[in-house]
Amino acid sequence: MESTIRVSQKGKTLLSIDGFTFGFQKMLAKDTVKRWTCTKKTCKSFVKTQGCENTIIESILDHNHEKLSAEVYNRKAVSNSIKSAAVEDLSEKPMKLICKELKKTNIETFTINDINRV
C-alpha cells in the first residue's frame, strides 16, 4: 500500500492510499495512534496509523465508491499547493504561480481544462 500525506484546500492534513483520500479524525491510545476516515461522507472505510512515518496498523478499505483518477488527484494536489503559495505571496500573479507549480511538479497529464479548473 502506497501512502502519501498532503494538505487540503482548507489546510487540513490528508492521507492518500491507493487513490483514496482519508482525513484525520482523532488521536487514539494516549496520542500514539491516528485514526483517518474516508473523505466521502457515506463511506465507512478507515485507517489507523502510528508514528511519524504513519505506519498502518489497522485498516478497513472497503470503499463504496470509485477512487479518484490520477488526473483529478494531480489537479487537486497542484491546486492546493498553488493556493498555499498565493497566501504566502499575495503580490504574485496567478498565472505565474500556476507556471511555477507546473514546472516544480512536472506532471505530464495536465491539460488546458485542468489549468482552467485550478
Element (H, E) at 3: strand 3-7
Contacts 24+ apart (CB under 8 A), 67-70: 67/18, 67/19, 67/20, 68/19, 68/20, 68/21, 69/19, 70/19, 70/109
Final residue belonging to a domain, choices 26, 42, 60: 60
User: 9 is in which domain, residue-wise?
Assistant: 3-60
Instruction: Determine the Cα–Cα distance for residues 90 and 87; give it in Å rounded to an integer.
Output: 6
pLDDT in tens, 33-78: 999 999 999 999 999 998 877 888 888 889 999 887 777 777 887 8
pTM of the predicted model, to two decimals?
0.68
Within a domain: 115:
no
Within a domain: 117:
no
Within a domain: 96:
yes
Structural domain count of the chain: 2
In the prediction, which pLDDT does 26 show?
92
Residues 94 and 54 in one domain: no
Confidence of residue 80 (pLDDT cuts 50, 70, 90): confident
Question: Higher-confidence residue: 21 or 6?
Answer: 21
